[in-house]
């Protein structure tokens, strides 16, 4: 899978971009060093999924390897960094990719320095600004990716959509959190915009559009990317409850403590008897949920059949994606790479 993720190339492009920014930022003030350190730490992790799908959208539409597409694809990792940093502020998450979240890093710096004033709002404020910087730098990296202006214009249509859709999806996700009565349907709508389009369909579209792909290719990539994106997010939801912290980079059960209204939880609530549903409603989102509480919720998710239903949905969407990929008018090499990415993004790991 590692070659499919073109991780090395993307990492080099990201490092080169950040290194070009570094002297300018430090010339403003060397006190900006912690902004760069926090970004370096975040970028050290991550699977580079979005750049990989963007790259294979480009290759699938018949273009060859080029530094330009790697740069354009890697710009999506800065967009993702921005989304993660802001998401962690919004959720008050302590960890990300196995390390302290950005706002906690700045908060800790404030405390260590013994500065007057409150450390928590300082941490949040600095992380909001770092997320803004990543969002701006994503745009800058995309535009400076050394592809010709006509290509960039075509790709930008999807890059722009992607940014709007992920922010809209995050807002809908917050609204979902205000409902006691989330359903599988409303949870799936959040998945579609916050995750599925953002992680897979739009990066594929962006890469293909940069390559000048026909509408037929764009549609085929939707037929493949949309179900795969849903399957990917459902797998992520399962990992958020049952996954190995070493893999997720988050403490076990963190999604339960954060109270995420996932499809998995909606499937569970649909199937739960009133007593079990009451336990779920009471404990989901309890920041003090301990190991026993996590184990109790896990048991309900399994015993109601919520987990099995979610796994069945993942299988169904992954199969739909695989069939669409078989039928897609893409180069053979891209079809093979995307087939491997399909498995990697949805396979059972619990």
Residues found near a second copy in the complex (CB under 8 A): 21, 24-25, 28-29, 31-32, 35, 82, 86, 89-90, 92, 110, 113, 115-117, 121-122, 124-126, 128-129, 131-133, 135-137, 139-140, 143, 149, 153, 156, 160-161, 163-165, 167-172, 174-175, 177-180, 189, 193, 285
Identify which of residues 249 and 285 has a Cβ nearer to a second copy in the complex. Answer: 285
Identify which of residues 48 and 86 has a Cβ nearer to a second copy in the complex. Answer: 86
Nearest distance, CB of residue 80 and a second copy, angstroms: 13
Nearest distance, CB of residue 309 and a second copy, angstroms: 25
Identify which of residues 190 and 338 has a Cβ nearer to a second copy in the complex. Answer: 190
Nearest distance, CB of residue 221 and a second copy, angstroms: 19
Q: Write the CA distances from 192 to 23, 28, 75, 209, 258, integer angstroms.
A: 39, 41, 22, 21, 20
Nearest distance, CB of residue 184 and a second copy, angstroms: 16
Nearest distance, CB of residue 125 and a second copy, angstroms: 4
Nearest distance, CB of residue 177 and a second copy, angstroms: 7
Identify which of residues 3 and 92 has a Cβ nearer to a second copy in the complex. Answer: 92
277 burial level (CB within 10 Å; 0-12, 13-18, 19+): middle
Alpha-helix runs per DSSP H in the chain: 7-28, 33-43, 49-60, 67-91, 102-113, 119-143, 149-177, 184-190, 202-210, 215-242, 245-248, 254-258, 263-271, 274-283, 291-303, 306-327, 332-346
Identify which of residues 9 and 165 has a Cβ nearer to a second copy in the complex. Answer: 165
> For the residues of 56-90, what is the DSSP string, one character each?
HHHHHTT----HHHHHHHHHHHHHHHHHHHHHHHH
* Residue 130 contacts residue 103 (beta carbons within 8 Å): no
C-alpha of 194 from chain center: 8
Nearest distance, CB of residue 329 and a second copy, angstroms: 27
Query: Number of C-alpha atoms within 13 angstroms, CB side, residue 58?
Result: 28
Query: Number of C-alpha atoms within 13 angstroms, CB side, residue 179?
Result: 15
Closest C-alpha among 346, 253, 249 to residue 299: 253
Identify which of residues 93 and 346 has a Cβ nearer to a second copy in the complex. Answer: 93
Nearest distance, CB of residue 110 and a second copy, angstroms: 7
CA distance 168 to 286: 26
Q: In degrees to the nearest 10, what's the CA dihedral of 62, 64, 67, 73?
A: 30
Query: Number of C-alpha atoms within 13 angstroms, CB side, residue 343?
Result: 8
* Residue 43 contacts residue 51 (beta carbons within 8 Å): no
Identify which of residues 56 and 159 has a Cβ nearer to a second copy in the complex. Answer: 159
Nearest distance, CB of residue 173 and a second copy, angstroms: 9
Identify which of residues 285 and 339 has a Cβ nearer to a second copy in the complex. Answer: 285
Identify which of residues 2 and 29 has a Cβ nearer to a second copy in the complex. Answer: 29
């Amino acid at each position: 899978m590692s070659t499919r993720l073109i991780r090395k190339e993307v990492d080099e492009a990201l490092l080169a971009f950040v290194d070009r920014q570094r002297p300018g930022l430090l010339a403003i003030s060397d006190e900006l060093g912690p902004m760069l350190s926090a970004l370096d730490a975040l970028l050290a992790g991550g699977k580079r999924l979005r750049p990989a799908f963007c790259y294979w959208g480009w290759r699938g539409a018949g273009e060859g390897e080029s530094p330009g597409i790697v740069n354009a694809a890697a710009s999506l990792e800065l967009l993702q960094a921005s989304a993660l940093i802001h998401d962690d502020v919004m959720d008050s998450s302590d960890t990300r990719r196995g390390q302290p979240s950005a706002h906690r890093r700045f908060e800790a710096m404030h405390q260590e320095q013994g500065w007057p004033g409150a450390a928590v709002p300082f941490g949040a404020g600095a992380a909001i600004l770092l997320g803004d910087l990543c969002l701006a730098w994503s745009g800058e990296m995309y535009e400076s990716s050394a592809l010709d202006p006509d290509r960039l214009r075509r790709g930008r249509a999807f890059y722009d959509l992607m940014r709007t859709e992920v922010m809209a999806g995050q807002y809908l996700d917050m609204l979902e959190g205000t409902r006691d009565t989330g359903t599988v349907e409303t949870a799936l709508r959040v998945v579609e915009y916050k995750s599925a389009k953002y992680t897979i369909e739009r990066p594929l579209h962006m890469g293909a559009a940069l390559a000048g792909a026909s509408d037929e290719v764009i549609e085929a990539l939707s037929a493949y990317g949309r179900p795969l994106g849903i399957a990917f997010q459902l797998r992520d939801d399962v990992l958020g409850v049952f996954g190995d912290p070493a893999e997720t980079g988050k403490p076990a059960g963190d999604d339960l403590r954060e109270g995420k209204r996932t499809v998995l939880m909606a499937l569970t609530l649909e199937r739960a008897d009133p007593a079990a549903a009451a336990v779920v409603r009471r404990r989901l989102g309890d920041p003090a949920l301990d190991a026993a509480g996590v184990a109790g919720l896990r048991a309900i998710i399994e015993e109601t059949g919520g987990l099995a239903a979610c796994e069945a949905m993942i299988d169904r969407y992954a199969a739909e994606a695989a069939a669409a990929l078989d039928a897609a008018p893409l180069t053979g090499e891209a079809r093979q790479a995307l087939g491997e990415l399909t498995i990697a993004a949805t396979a059972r790991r619990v």
